Amino acid sequence: MNISKKILALATGIAMCFSLGACGSSRSGESASDSTTLEAGATIGISMPTKSEERWNKDGSNLKEKLEKAGYKVILSYADDKPAQQNSDIENMVNNDAKIIVVAAKDGSAVGPAVEKARDAGATVIAYDRLIMNTDAVDYYATFQLEQVGVLEAEYIIEELGLDSGAAGPFNIELFSGSPDDNNAKYFFKGAWEKLQPYFESGALVCPSNHGGGVTKDFSEDDWQKIAVQSWKTETAQTYMESILDSSYSHGEKLDAVLSPYDGISQGVINAIESKRPDMIPGTDSWPVITGQDAMEIAITNIANEKQGETVYKNVDELGDAVYKMIIEIAEGKDVSGINGEFNNGNIDVPSLLLDPMNITIDNLSELVETGYVTQERFDTLTAAQ
């Protein structure tokens, strides 16, 4: 081959590379935002786990509204608490050329194959509030300080029982953790157990029931699934709590506190107490300290009526705003700002944006109005005496 033919061949090869986008390109650990900008009207997918829980409806609709106002096409789906449905939803987004896919996983491990298809199609994957496990096909994770949720719940119990002031007890407490298929649940329990375990060690806290095989000072944070409530269901929690009351509190024994990681579980606990122990009266010493999470409307009512002591408020608008900003930065080919941690999902350390939760009690319940979480009119309706 003469020199002129070599030059022609080289030029042709270079031109082919540019026409294909890049020669030998792969993610190789880089996110899609490292070199890609999105055109106006590009498709973004949002996959939420269920419509049966109040918060996911807010999360999904708020983010969809913001993105559509910014000019993007949005596919929003709810998986009806079914991992197979969520996988199908994500695959549908890939087939519709979604460039960024936001996933609040029903099952953090089961959704792996679907997000890998998204990754292979060139999409950026953002895990929303729940980490996607055992895959390298996750670019970013946005959530709240997970262990802090459990810390706030446990500290409220400790303060209300006077343990931080030297009360020796023993106080009777029952404990629940979140759904075993939700990776966040173990972090919530870890934060709480690290605070409560020393009081089990000293004997100031005891768990009379055999729920989960029994919670003692030797119970470990790794045992959290033994006291888990599948899918965070109110009905399941109520069934468990009724069994606990029948077995260990049927002769007037005092129940001092219940560690509940979620308002829906708290409602199940309250239902069971009202059914099995009508002698326990909210607002009196006979009623236990009950915790919660998510500031659901039912929790606002329960706190106002002294049936639930606190809820951990995670401002989903703040989370939605953070993820919206993340999406816009990715779409514009910018580095994602605000990353302040990382979570290992079993395969990789996922760059994470972590927000601070807030404890809500009867003393600061109106904060939910001031932050715009609920309107004053709705708040007044929820907190009206019942």
110 and 233, same domain (yes or no):
no
CA atoms of 38 and 331, how far apart (whole Å): 5
**256, 340: one domain:** no
Residue ranges in 295-366 assigned as alpha helix (H): 297-304, 316-331
pLDDT at position 317, please? 86
Residue 57 in domain: yes
Residue 280 lies in a domain: yes
> What is the distance between the alpha carbons of residues 274 and 238, in angstroms, rounded to a whole number?
11
Beta carbons within 8 Å of 372's beta carbon, 6+ residues apart: 317
Please tell me the distance from the alpha carbon of residue 252 to that of residue 133, in angstroms, as a whole number.
45
Q: Is there a domain that residue 48 lies in?
A: yes
16 pLDDT more than 80: no
Look at residue 154 in the predicted model and tell me its pLDDT: 98
- Strand arrangement, sheet containing 349-355: 73-78, 43-48, 98-103, 124-128, 140-144, 349-355, 341-344
- Has residue 12 been placed in a domain? no
Could you tell me if residue 112 is inside a domain?
yes
Statement to judge: residues 131 and 175 lie in one domain:
no
- What's the pLDDT score for residue 386? 60
**What's the confidence (pLDDT) of residue 7?**
39
Task: Provide the CATH number for the domain around residue 242.
Answer: 3.40.50.2300
276 or 33, which is more confident?
Answer: 276
> Do 102 and 243 belong together in one domain?
no
User: How far, CA to CA in Å, does 373 sit from each of 78, 230, 265, 324, 356?
Assistant: 22, 27, 21, 18, 16
Predicted pLDDT at 279: 96
Within this chain, do residues 252 and 377 fall inside the same structural domain, yes or no? yes
163 and 303 fall within a common domain = yes
Helix (H, G, I), strand (E, B) or coil at 378: helix
pLDDT tens per residue, range 311-342 = 999 988 899 999 999 999 999 999 999 999 99
Do residues 297 and 382 lie in contact, with contact meaning Cβ atoms separated by under 8 Å? Answer: yes
For residues 143, 374, 70 and 125, what is the CA-based torsion angle, rounded to 10 degrees? 20
With a cut of 80, say whether residue 2 has pLDDT above it: no
Q: Is the pTM of this model over 0.75?
A: yes
CA angle 313, 380, 264 (to 5 degrees): 40
Give domain status of residue 323, yes or no.
Answer: yes
Whether pLDDT at 4 is above 50: no
Of 23-27, 182-186, 342-346, the one with minimum mean pLDDT is 23-27
Specify whether 66 is located in the same domain as 156.
no
Rg, C-alpha atoms of the chain: 25
The total domain count for the chain is: 2
User: Are residue 133 and residue 152 in the same domain, yes or no?
Assistant: no
User: The domain containing residue 85 runs over which residues?
Assistant: 43-138+316-355
Residues 323, 302 share a domain: no
Place of tokens 């009905």: 235
pLDDT at 46 over 70: yes
Q: Note whether residue 14 is domain-resident.
A: no
pLDDT in tens, 146-173: 999 999 999 999 999 999 999 998 999 9
Are 100 and 196 contained in the same domain? no
Nearest CA to 59 out of 250, 322, 292, 317 is that of 317
* pLDDT score of 183: 86
Q: What is the pLDDT of residues 47-73, one digit of tens each?
A: 999 998 878 998 999 999 999 999 999
Mean pLDDT of 179-185: 91
Q: Give the pLDDT score at 293.
A: 96
| Burial of 51: CB neighbours in 10 Å, binned 0-12, 13-18, 19+ | middle
Do 165 and 306 belong to one domain?
yes
Residue 18 forms part of a structural domain: no
C-alpha to C-alpha distance for 143 and 97, rounded to whole angstroms = 26
| Angle between helices 297-304 and 376-383 in degrees, nearest 10 | 50
How far apart, in Å, are the Cα atoms of 191 and each of 16, 37, 274? Answer: 55, 39, 29
Same domain, 150 and 123: no
Nearest to 72 by CA among 337, 336, 353, 324: 324
What integer pLDDT is reported at residue 36 of this predicted model?
64
Residue 9, pLDDT score: 43
Residues 369 and 375 sit within 8 Å (Cβ to Cβ): yes
